[in-house]
Amino acid sequence: MDAHPPATTGLKVSVATAFDVLGWEIELAGARCIFLDALIGELMPTVPVEKRERLMQGMHAVDLLAQHLTSLSAFARRMSEDASTLPDLAVTTALGDITLGDLADRMTTAFGGAEETPDDRTEAGALDLF
């Protein structure tokens, strides 16, 4: 899959801002895990008894992933606080490596870059729902 091209070339942000935005995105991913965990729990009674153990393993995996993301977010937030005196980082290339277009757009905007319009986007990085 091709990387999503960033909206702005030469975008630079402070290390603190980079870690702060990263922490926010990790928190968003964690919130999605919590939603998924609740959904699996809600569906548990509808699953045949012989399949419930497998579904329970999935719930545990999603819960562990949510805890993992929470810890990474806390790490990124602390790094953001501690990095306030460091020089700016060039983030354009790293943003170009993000293959999920909405994520790249949110981070580019959070870093102060130009927001893309739907016509500016390529098919690469588009969210595929099934």
**Residue pLDDT, tens place only, 105-124:** 999 999 998 866 555 545 44
Write down the number of H helices and E strands in the chain.
4, 2
71-106 pLDDT per residue, tens: 999 999 999 988 888 888 899 999 999 999 999 999
Is there a domain that residue 80 lies in?
yes
Q: Residue 129's pLDDT band (boundaries 50, 70, 90)?
A: low
Is there a domain that residue 29 lies in?
yes
Is there a domain that residue 95 lies in?
no
Is there a domain that residue 101 lies in?
no
Is there a domain that residue 110 lies in?
no
Query: Which amino acid is it at 65?
Result: L
pLDDT at residue 7 is higher than 80: no
pLDDT at residue 42 is higher than 70: yes
Domain, as residue range, for 50: 17-86
Q: pLDDT over 70 for what percent of the chain?
A: 81
Is there a domain that residue 119 lies in?
no
Is there a domain that residue 64 lies in?
yes
Contact 7, 114 (CB under 8 A): yes
> How far apart are the C-alpha atoms of 92 and 108, rounded to whole Å?
8
Is there a domain that residue 105 lies in?
no
Write the CA distances from 79 to 6, 83, 101, 102, 108, integer angstroms. 24, 6, 26, 25, 20
pTM: 0.74
Tally the domains of the chain. Answer: 1
